């Protein structure tokens, strides 16, 4: 009888553990996972059941480290809930403790009561799994008060279930049932089928522990009815647990036929057997079925079944139920007359139960040791009696301790509220005094500003008169300069340009009538005159357009230069200018140098590069403009060829405009010229 009761405690703990995993979603915040977000990728890999156990732990740790460095917003804190839950899934208790502490600090820093409540809850989960029930009760109680404060009914329902688990572990069945009934009232109002399934199963476990097996079965049936037609994994595993618990109750009623039937149904329903989430219930179903087989003296496959669950627990680091697996091994070997192994496994079960500090599990192990090791039966019996007596004392002490924790928590809360009220009063008084002083200071400053404004108005009027005189003078100078530039431009264009154009045409006509050798000589002169014509046109354009004084003129002239190159060359030209460049901030002389460098580079490409494609780009980088001129021509070697006048001019103009010039070239791989010039 006692063994079944303790197995039921394990089942009770597992169902609450599972419901806890599925009930902590922050429904107010959607999850947006981006492929570019490293934290999200860590979380995806950490939560994936396909990822190996050790790798999941490592990715969860990486995700926590990344979240610590990110902005403390609601999405960040919601991810902490995911990671705490995952460490709990993975039975990584030290990581759970560390992460829940960080989570609590971040939640308190943000003053977010919702997340403060959940961080308290995860601290409680850590202490609960470490069998430190008083600490677990303390944090669950703080979470309860926090969720009551913000009126979060769903989270409050889950906390009542958590409290029931701690009360159950201390054999306080009446208060555990009271907490579960309170949770059921909330779940009814919320119409939360998932929470009601959990509560019905836990009520059944609580009743079974009080030996009311018939009522326990009735609650399991209620839970099974709610799981019908539901295909979600959380409902499926709840169905598995309810079937398993019904089998235990039938076992208590000595109805081994029904017990074995429901164990098999439980095993059949467990669709995912070796997932870290579903493995505990799967292992319990197999272990309990093996136990029934032992009791029915049917030893077929029993050792194989127990070995399988032992391997699953070892591979996934699952602690729940490990001591019962060892105990069933001992029972199997005892019934099959292998007393040495029966004693060995009973000792292992006793040692493991002692490490968990669970008196009930220790008593089960001692009872088995008395049976398999009669030579030391007296020693084990004395220890059994001592622990059994101490359990009653522990139950009373724990109840008193829980009551004290509840009282002290309430007292601390009241003291905190009183301190906050006093703090607010002091601050209101201080703010009133500060406000009065600020008002007097503002009045004094305004009077001084008024006097200063009157003086500034007088001075501004005088400055305006001086400025008007200077503007008139400057306008006259600018007008004269503009007229002179226009006159020079017209003279260059109408006089020299026409003459050069006429000469070039005549020479072309002459070339057509001369022999081949003469044609080659004259062609050089024709091309030279064309270069002079382009240079004069550019000078005239500069004089007539204010020397590149604004953004529009520079972009327009650059585009005109590219268009001109397209007209006289078979190359494919591409110009790209970043619209974010503020040309008005760049000094006129710098724009002239930049334009001349571009002009010289394009002329060199036309003459020497034999290129098919030319790309010119101007991009804004911080406080600089980066101009890149690329051609896919023949390139040249710096070692074999000295810098010509064109390259020297480029370097000189770059230096004159405080720019940095870099020339990259290789034979038959083209040439790239990079000019980095400051905007201001």
Q: Measured between alpha carbons, how far is 171 from 162 in angstroms, rounded to an integer? A: 15
168: pLDDT strictly greater than 90:
no
Average pLDDT over residues 70-80: 91
**φ, ψ for residue 674 (rounded to 5)?**
-115, 125
pLDDT of residue 165: 86
Q: Where residue 391 falls among pLDDT bands split at 50, 70, 90? A: low
pLDDT of residue 549: 46
Average pLDDT over residues 379-399: 72
Tens digit of each residue's pLDDT (9 = 90 or more) over 583-618? 888 888 888 889 989 988 998 898 888 999 999 999
Instruction: Classify strands 624-631 and 660-665 as parallel, antiparallel or unpaired.
Output: unpaired
167: pLDDT strictly greater than 80:
yes
Three-state DSSP string of 412-457: HHHHHHHHHHHHHHHHHHHHHHHHHHHHHHHHHHHHHHHHHHHHHH
Tens digit of each residue's pLDDT (9 = 90 or more) over 105-115? 999 999 999 99
80: pLDDT strictly greater than 90:
yes
Residue bearing the bigger pLDDT, 234 or 628: 628
Tens digit of each residue's pLDDT (9 = 90 or more) over 628-648? 999 999 988 877 655 667 788
Q: Where residue 547 falls among pLDDT bands split at 50, 70, 90? A: very low
The closest of 574, 670, 567, 654 to 615, measured between CA atoms, is 574
Burial of 352 (0-12, 13-18, 19+ CB in 10 A): buried
Tens digit of each residue's pLDDT (9 = 90 or more) over 403-448? 556 555 555 556 666 666 777 778 888 888 888 888 888 888 888 8
Whole-number average pLDDT of the chain? 80
The closest of 64, 72, 152 to 113, measured between CA atoms, is 152
pLDDT of residue 128: 87
288: pLDDT strictly greater than 80:
yes
388: pLDDT strictly greater than 70:
yes
20: pLDDT strictly greater than 80:
no
Tens digit of each residue's pLDDT (9 = 90 or more) over 558-573? 898 898 888 888 899 9
496: pLDDT strictly greater than 80:
no
Residue bearing the bigger pLDDT, 512 or 180: 180
pTM of this structure: 0.49
Q: Return the structure tokens found at 529.
A: 């005159």
Average the pLDDT over each of 9-23, 526-540, 628-642 and give the range with the smallest value: 9-23
**φ, ψ for residue 614 (rounded to 5)?**
-130, 130
26: pLDDT strictly greater than 50:
no
pLDDT of residue 573: 94
Percentage of the residues of the chain whose pLDDT score is greater than 70: 74
28: pLDDT strictly greater than 60:
no
């Amino acid at each position: 009888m006692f063994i079944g009761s303790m197995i039921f405690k394990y089942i009770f703990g597992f169902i609450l553990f599972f419901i806890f995993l599925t009930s902590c979603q922050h429904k107010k915040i959607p999850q947006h996972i981006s492929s570019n977000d490293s934290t999200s990728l860590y979380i995806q890999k950490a939560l994936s059941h396909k990822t190996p156990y050790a790798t999941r732990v490592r990715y969860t740790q990486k995700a926590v480290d990344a979240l610590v460095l990110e902005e403390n917003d609601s999405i960040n804190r919601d991810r902490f809930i995911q990671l705490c839950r995952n460490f709990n899934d993975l039975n990584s208790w030290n990581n759970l403790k560390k992460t829940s502490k960080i989570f609590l600090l971040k939640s308190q820093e943000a003053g977010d009561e919702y997340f403060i409540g959940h961080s308290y809850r995860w601290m409680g989960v850590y202490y609960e799994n470490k069998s430190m029930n008083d600490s677990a009760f303390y944090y669950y109680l703080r979470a309860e008060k926090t969720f009551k404060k913000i009126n979060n009914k769903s989270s409050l329902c889950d906390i009542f279930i958590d409290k029931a688990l701690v009360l159950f572990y201390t054999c306080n069945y009446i208060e555990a049932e009271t907490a579960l009934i309170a949770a059921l009232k909330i779940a009814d109002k919320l119409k939360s089928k998932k929470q009601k399934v959990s509560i019905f199963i836990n009520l059944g476990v609580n009743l079974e522990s009080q030996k009311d097996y018939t009522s326990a079965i009735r609650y399991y049936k209620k839970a099974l009815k709610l799981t019908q037609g539901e295909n979600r994994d959380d409902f499926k595993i709840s169905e598995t647990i309810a079937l398993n618990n019904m089998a235990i109750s039938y076992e208590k009623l000595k109805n081994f036929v029904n017990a074995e039937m429901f164990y098999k149904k439980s095993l059949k329903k467990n669709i995912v057997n070796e997932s870290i989430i579903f493995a505990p219930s799967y292992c319990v179903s197999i272990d309990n079925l093996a136990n029934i087989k032992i009791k029915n003296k049917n030893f077929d496959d029993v050792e194989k079944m127990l070995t399988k669950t032992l391997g699953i627990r070892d591979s996934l680091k699952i602690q729940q139920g490990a001591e019962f697996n060892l105990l069933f091994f001992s029972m199997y070997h005892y019934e099959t007359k292998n007393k040495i192994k029966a004693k060995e496994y009973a000792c292992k079960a006793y040692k493991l139960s002692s490490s968990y500090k669970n008196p009930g599990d220790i008593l089960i192990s001692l009872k088995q040791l008395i049976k398999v090791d009669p030579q030391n039966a007296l020693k084990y019996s004395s220890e059994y009696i001592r622990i059994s007596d101490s359990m009653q004392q522990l139950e009373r002490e724990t109840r008193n301790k829980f009551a004290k924790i509840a009282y002290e928590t309430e007292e601390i809360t009241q003291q905190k509220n009183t301190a906050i009220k006093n703090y607010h009063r002091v601050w209101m008084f201080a703010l009133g005094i500060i406000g009065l002083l600020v008002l007097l200071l503002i009045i004094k400053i305004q009077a001084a500003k008024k006097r200063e404004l009157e003086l500034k108005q007088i001075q501004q009027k005088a400055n305006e008169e001086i400025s008007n005189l200077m503007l008139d003078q400057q306008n006259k100078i600018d007008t004269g300069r503009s007229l002179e530039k226009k006159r020079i431009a017209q003279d260059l264009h109408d006089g020299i340009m026409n003459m050069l154009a006429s000469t070039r045409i005549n020479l072309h006509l002459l070339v057509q009538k001369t022999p081949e050798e003469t044609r080659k000589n004259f062609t050089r002169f024709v091309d030279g005159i064309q270069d002079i014509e382009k240079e004069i046109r550019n000078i005239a354009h500069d004089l007539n357009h204010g020397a590149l004084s604004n953004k529009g003129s520079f972009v327009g002239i650059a585009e005109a230069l590219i268009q001109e190159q397209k007209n006289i060359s078979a190359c494919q030209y591409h110009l790209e200018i970043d619209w974010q460049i503020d040309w008005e901030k760049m000094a006129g002389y710098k724009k002239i140098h930049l334009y001349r460098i571009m002009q010289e580079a394009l002329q060199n490409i036309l003459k020497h590069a034999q290129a098919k494609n030319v790309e010119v780009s101007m991009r804004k980088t911080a406080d600089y403009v980066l101009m890149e001129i690329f051609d896919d021509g023949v390139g040249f070697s710096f070692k074999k060829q000295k810098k010509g006048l064109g390259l020297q001019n480029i370097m000189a103009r770059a230096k004159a405009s405080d720019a940095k010039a870099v020339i990259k070239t290789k034979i038959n791989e083209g040439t790239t010229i990079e000019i980095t010039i400051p905007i201001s």
